[in-house]
Amino acid sequence: MAEGTGLPGVPARGADLRLRGRTFGADHPVVMAVVNRTPDSFYAAARYDDAEAGAAVARAADEGADLVDLGGVRAGRGPAVTVEEEIARVVPLIARVRSRHPDLLVSVDTWRAPVARAAADAGVDLINDTWAGHDPELVEVAAARGLGIVCSHTGGALPRTDPLRVTYPRTPVAGRPDDALDGVVDDVVATVLAGARRAVDLGIDPAGVLVDPTHDFGKTTWHSLHLVRRAPALVALGFPVLMALSRKDFVGESLDVPVDERLEGTLAATAVAAWLGARVFRTHDVRATRRVLDMVAVLRGDRAPARAVRGLV
């Protein structure tokens, strides 16, 4: 279960994250930088060819990323990408990152077990399964190779599909306040908990099992907004919580802004989720996210200010 802070009015701390023997506690929220080796990512500024991707990783590391998430297939609809092409896009990059940035943790964003195996051979630390176990062998690869795994939620949606009029009926529970939107929370909690338990049963370190409500995937904007507010329901599961909020449609629709104007909205959602105990944040904007998360950690009392001399000298 999530650890209390001991401070009145401050939500519980989330679970620690541990990958490759490194542990990140509440004093160090984790920044997961997005580097897409795709020509059609929804955010044009995050599209990198092979030559540009290495520089993007180096920049992310300089700006404070702890973990870099490398993807070779756009999450949404688009041209088909074969397993072979996905491997060709991401695996050589993983090998270069591992060689050039030995202290940087590396994740691969894939739902395909053959890609995960090739990524494991190249030295990846985490498999980011954004399609909720669509390939059931994916978690087995993580367990066999001693890697971390992200357990996500898509409401049963198939890879690379968009939601349409999706609903999550709520199961009535005696004594529980009536909030229809909590149906999505119930479904997310049940799904990611089942995935996390399977991962642990296969031998994966619980501190390397991340749970992700997976905003926008199989969800309306109302669902995604509610899942930020209800982050404590995920934190209470006792696994590190990943929030992938960066520049997503629920932010754009909330503010009526295009993808290249969603930074402020993303950072607001990030600050709220961090205050509520989420531990890992996937982002296109590393420096800004690093500073927001560090400031929230100071406000929560999880870390000290970098310096505090005002009024003392």
pTM: 0.94
Reading the chain (313 residues) residue by residue, the pLDDT tens digits are: 677 777 888 999 999 999 999 999 999 999 999 999 988 888 878 788 888 999 999 999 999 999 999 999 988 888 899 999 999 999 999 999 999 999 999 999 999 999 999 999 999 999 999 999 999 999 999 999 999 999 999 999 989 888 889 999 987 777 777 788 999 999 999 999 999 999 999 999 999 999 999 999 999 999 999 999 999 999 999 999 999 999 999 999 999 999 999 999 999 999 999 999 999 999 999 999 999 999 999 999 999 999 999 999 9
* Residues 6+ away with beta carbon under 8 Å from 311: none
Q: Do residues 108 and 128 make contact, with C-beta atoms less than 8 angstroms apart?
A: yes
pLDDT in tens, 58-71: 999 999 999 999 99
Domains in the chain with CATH codes = 26-171+179-300 (3.20.20.20)
CA-to-CA dists, residue 253 to 93, 131, 209, 265, angstroms: 34, 23, 31, 10
